Chains A and B, each alone.
Chain A
Amino acid sequence: MKEVNIMNKEVVLQKVKNEVEAMASCSIDDPDTEIFTSGILDSLNILNILSFIESEFQLQINPFDINLDTMGTINKICDYIISKNRCQ
């Protein structure tokens, strides 16, 4: 069971990384890199990220969840997706 969770995390991480890198037109090696405050992504890109999460992972995002603590890095986005997935 634990192995499945780890694999899921890796899959989710890779998908989010691909999406963010496509939006940013650059590679992001460190998943803890701040993607918005560092200027890698424009704040306008947040809609693309949110839409991607909803459609790719079949999640419904609560607008109150959207902040830098949940969306600030690839890792944080990944953790948010996994936590939401457990709840829904």
Chain B
Amino acid sequence: MTDIANLFDNAGSTNLITYKGRTETGDSFAALIADLYQKISCIPELKTGSFILLLNEHPIEFYSLLFAIWKNGNRVIFPTRDIFSDPLSILYYKYSVSLNEGNVAITPNQHYVQEEDDLPGDTVVFSSGSTGAPKGILHDRNNFLKNARAVADTIQVSSLSNITFLKPYLVSAISHFLVHYLTGSHLLFDNYENIQNLSDYYTANPSAGIVGAPIHVVSGLRFIPEDAQPGIFFTSGDFISAGAIENIFSRFPETTYFNVYGLAELAGRFFINRIEASTPADRYEAIGTNIPGTGYQSGESDIRVNSDFLFSGYIIDNTFRSREVLHPSGDLVVNKNGLLFLAGRTNDEIKILGNKVALRYIEIKIRNILKQDTTVLIAQPHPTFGNLLALVIKSEREYKRTEIIRKLRKHLSPHEIPHKFFYMDDIPFTQSMKIDRNAIARQLQSLRMIHG
């Protein structure tokens, strides 16, 4: 059994990762990278080309292999969850690479399709997010490190220990790791299923911070003892609701909350919000700080993204010619001149009477307007009227339909106001702890409708 009390003995010094009772220091991590780099350098196949990196059980192995491959100047493709069952997705890498008891194993991909002009090396293709679904994000190693350093500089976590939750395909976990690597702080990994362990971690270290998705913070709060003093809460992804943040500050007024989010939430890191107890609730979204060198402009039909270290291209709502598609998701293309064009991301936009409605975006706005942590906005096809918007609320208080509409009407456009309102006792989540919108849609008819 792991001695939790000793996990933080060297917090903030050279201990980098603790997972399942195994702690790696910065020195041992560097040695592991060097060892793997040595092995990789001796493998002719790994001199060029693209690779798919298979996740190992322990994050130290995954990260060290990633670093070693990067160091070798190779392109790495992070696998989607179902990459081996997707007949198209396996066409784009030459080899798979994995670790087996410290030995590098590479397997040629029999189905690899040679590109006319191979992509230059040293490019990382983030093909999956926390759901395993392709994200379609491209950038190179140096840019990724630069990005992580920008996050580290902004949050200045060097003296803190933090707890993060391991989600195997979550690229942001790598970013979190890099922040700690760059700052030399201590990072304790645990599986999300063990979130109740937070109470033990905080008994051992009352000032530890939490790093993860907003859902980790929301669901982990109840396991943080009242007398704890968490240094930071650091989340990435969809913006956590104002109500949840207020709840955090009411319990821990000395803490600081960071949220990183952006157009491409995993790799983008376009904005970092630093929110403190004195920050007015209606300014949570307004105080974002642009990471230097990034920016975007919204247009009528597209969003122009500029960055000196991320990518430069367009996010537009269309489909792509197959020859130019790098990833079978269809949401990633590479221009011949080397510019990267990211386009056609699968998004959640629907049309209401010809007007575009981005469900998640409106959903977050509604959460903040209603100050209700758990609200879900989903599209409900109507046989006559096209799409309707259904708002599902998990709440102990009783609402009136007209009360909700009146509140929303002040902040939303007419076409953004939901048409139906329902209560739901338990919001279903997917295995990766995303709200299971499909499950909610299936149950909609059986939910209690909000009237009045």
Whether B415 contacts A44 by the Cβ 8 Å rule is yes
Whether A23 contacts B417 by the Cβ 8 Å rule is yes
Whether B353 contacts A47 by the Cβ 8 Å rule is yes
A48 at the interface (CB under 8 A from B): yes
B352 at the interface (CB under 8 A from A): yes
Report the separation of the CA atoms of residues A24 and B451 in the bound assembly, to the nearest whole angstrom. Answer: 18
Whether A25 contacts B409 by the Cβ 8 Å rule is yes
Most buried by B among A21, A41, A52: A52
B residues lining the A interface (CB < 8 Å): 352-353, 355, 382, 384-385, 388, 401-403, 405-406, 409-410, 413-415, 417, 419-420, 449, 451-452
**Chain A: CB-nearest residue to B354:** A44
A22 at the interface (CB under 8 A from B): yes
Whether A22 contacts B406 by the Cβ 8 Å rule is yes
| Interface window among A1-9, A55-63, A69-77, A79-87 | A55-63
A residues lining the B interface (CB < 8 Å): 18-19, 21-25, 41-45, 47-48, 50-52, 55-56, 61, 63
**Chain A: CB-nearest residue to B402:** A22
In the complex with contacts A55-B420, A56-B451, A47-B409 CB distance below 8 A = no
For B355, give its contact among A18, A44, A48, A63 (CB under 8 Å).
Answer: A44
A-B residue pairs in contact (CB < 8 Å), sample of 18: A18-B402, A23-B405, A23-B417, A41-B414, A43-B353, A44-B413, A47-B352, A47-B353, A47-B385, A47-B419, A48-B419, A51-B382, A51-B388, A51-B419, A51-B420, A52-B401, A52-B419, A63-B384
Report the separation of the CA atoms of residues A60 and B218 in the bound assembly, to the nearest whole angstrom. Answer: 41
State how many angstroms separate the Cβ of B255 from the closest Cβ of chain A.
37
State how many angstroms separate the Cβ of A17 from the closest Cβ of chain B.
10
B452 neighbours in A (Cβ, 8 Å): 18
A25 neighbours in B (Cβ, 8 Å): 406, 409-410
B405 neighbours in A (Cβ, 8 Å): 19, 22-23, 48
B417 neighbours in A (Cβ, 8 Å): 23, 45, 48
Report the separation of the CA atoms of residues A85 and B417 in the bound assembly, to the nearest whole angstrom. Answer: 27
Whether B409 contacts A22 by the Cβ 8 Å rule is yes
The 7 closest A-B pairs by CB, nearest first: A51-B419, A22-B402, A44-B414, A22-B405, A42-B414, A44-B415, A22-B406
Report the separation of the CA atoms of residues A61 and B221 in the bound assembly, to the nearest whole angstrom. Answer: 47
State how many angstroms separate the Cβ of A56 from the closest Cβ of chain B.
7
Most buried by B among A45, A48, A56, A61: A48
A21 neighbours in B (Cβ, 8 Å): 402
A18 neighbours in B (Cβ, 8 Å): 402, 452
In the complex with contacts A23-B417, A56-B451, A47-B406 CB distance below 8 A = no
Report the separation of the CA atoms of residues A43 and B354 in the bound assembly, to the nearest whole angstrom. Answer: 12
B409 neighbours in A (Cβ, 8 Å): 22-25
**Chain A: CB-nearest residue to B384:** A63
Whether A61 contacts B384 by the Cβ 8 Å rule is yes
Report the separation of the CA atoms of residues A24 and B414 in the bound assembly, to the nearest whole angstrom. Answer: 10
Report the separation of the CA atoms of residues A24 and B413 in the bound assembly, to the nearest whole angstrom. Answer: 12
A47 neighbours in B (Cβ, 8 Å): 352-353, 385, 388, 415, 419
A48 neighbours in B (Cβ, 8 Å): 405, 414, 417, 419
**Chain B: CB-nearest residue to A48:** B419
Q: A45-B414, A55-B420 provided; 6 other pairs, C-beta below 8 A?
A: A22-B401, A25-B410, A44-B413, A44-B414, A44-B415, A63-B384
State how many angstroms separate the Cβ of A65 from the closest Cβ of chain B.
10
Report the separation of the CA atoms of residues A55 and B382 in the bound assembly, to the nearest whole angstrom. Answer: 12
Whether B402 contacts A19 by the Cβ 8 Å rule is yes
State how many angstroms separate the Cβ of A23 from the closest Cβ of chain B.
6
Report the separation of the CA atoms of residues A52 and B385 in the bound assembly, to the nearest whole angstrom. Answer: 13
B388 neighbours in A (Cβ, 8 Å): 47, 51
Most buried by A among B352, B355, B413, B417: B417
Report the separation of the CA atoms of residues A55 and B450 in the bound assembly, to the nearest whole angstrom. Answer: 10
Report the separation of the CA atoms of residues A63 and B403 in the bound assembly, to the nearest whole angstrom. Answer: 28
B406 neighbours in A (Cβ, 8 Å): 22, 25
Report the separation of the CA atoms of residues A24 and B385 in the bound assembly, to the nearest whole angstrom. Answer: 21
A23 neighbours in B (Cβ, 8 Å): 405, 409, 414, 417
**Chain B: CB-nearest residue to A20:** B402
State how many angstroms separate the Cβ of A55 from the closest Cβ of chain B.
6
Report the separation of the CA atoms of residues A29 and B406 in the bound assembly, to the nearest whole angstrom. Answer: 17
Report the separation of the CA atoms of residues A26 and B414 in the bound assembly, to the nearest whole angstrom. Answer: 15
Report the separation of the CA atoms of residues A24 and B352 in the bound assembly, to the nearest whole angstrom. Answer: 19
State how many angstroms separate the Cβ of B418 from the closest Cβ of chain A.
8
State how many angstroms separate the Cβ of A58 from the closest Cβ of chain B.
11
Report the separation of the CA atoms of residues A47 and B405 in the bound assembly, to the nearest whole angstrom. Answer: 13
For A55, give its contact among B355, B410, B449 (CB under 8 Å).
Answer: B449
Report the separation of the CA atoms of residues A47 and B354 in the bound assembly, to the nearest whole angstrom. Answer: 12
**Chain A: CB-nearest residue to B406:** A22
A44 neighbours in B (Cβ, 8 Å): 352-353, 355, 413-415
